[in-house]
């Protein structure tokens, strides 16, 4: 039980062997002086059969090569389609990358503006805090001065209230009654 490929291989080996034998016989024709017609025709038939077998073999090889070529063309078409799809994806990725770069640039610009605004607000708060602190210090000093003035006035008032003054005020008060 030989496989088809083994049978084909055996057939090819037989064909090659008979072809070689025929070529050898043809080369030896020159050495044979008295070749008869029957031998000559027999040799021609063998050569014809060998050529027919070789032609069939070449047709099979050609057919096999054509099938391979068609398969390879199909594979090539598939690969070209895959390449086109990959190129389309690559273009989409390039577009997305460019879009993301633009977004990053926009966000960086916005971030810089936000940082600048934050610094301005922080400076405004610090200035306001300093102004409020200065105002509080001024008010505290004024309150201290007012307290000193009040204290001074109270002390003057207390020094002006002596008993003599109190008596005269009492006399005036009793006389009017």
Q: Which domain holds residue 26?
A: 4-160
Q: Tokens 């102004």, residue?
A: 131
Residues constituting the chain: 177
Total of domains in the chain: 1
User: CA-to-CA distance for 58 and 12, rounded, in angstroms?
Assistant: 11
pLDDT along the chain (177 residues), means of 10: 55 61 68 68 85 94 97 97 98 98 98 97 95 95 95 89 56 53
Whether the CB-CB separation of 29 and 35 falls below 8 Å is answered with yes
Is residue 72 in some structural domain? yes
User: CA-to-CA distance for 99 and 76, rounded, in angstroms?
Assistant: 34
pTM of the model: 0.44
Is residue 171 in some structural domain? no
Token pair belonging to 9: 């291989």
What is the DSSP code (8-state) at residue 33? S
Is residue 29 in some structural domain? yes
Is residue 176 in some structural domain? no
Is residue 170 in some structural domain? no
Is residue 174 in some structural domain? no
Is residue 172 in some structural domain? no
Is residue 94 in some structural domain? yes
């Amino acid at each position: 039980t030989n496989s088809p490929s083994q049978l084909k291989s055996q057939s090819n080996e037989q064909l090659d062997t008979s072809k070689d034998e025929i070529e050898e016989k043809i080369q030896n024709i020159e050495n044979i002086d008295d070749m008869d017609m029957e031998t000559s025709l027999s040799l021609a038939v063998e050569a014809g059969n060998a050529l027919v077998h070789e032609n069939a073999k070449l047709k099979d090889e050609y057919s096999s090569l054509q099938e391979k070529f068609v398969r390879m063309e199909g594979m090539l078409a598939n690969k070209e389609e895959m390449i086109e799809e990959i190129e389309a994806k690559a273009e989409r990725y390039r577009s997305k990358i460019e879009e993301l770069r633009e977004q990053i640039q926009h966000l960086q610009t916005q971030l810089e503006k936000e940082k600048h605004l934050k610094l301005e607000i922080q400076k405004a708060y610090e200035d306001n805090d300093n102004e409020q602190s200065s105002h509080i210090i001024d008010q505290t000093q004024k309150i201290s001065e007012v307290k000193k003035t009040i204290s001074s006035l109270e002390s003057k008032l207390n020094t002006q209230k002596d008993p003599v003054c109190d008596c005269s005020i009492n006399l005036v008060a009793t006389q009017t009654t």
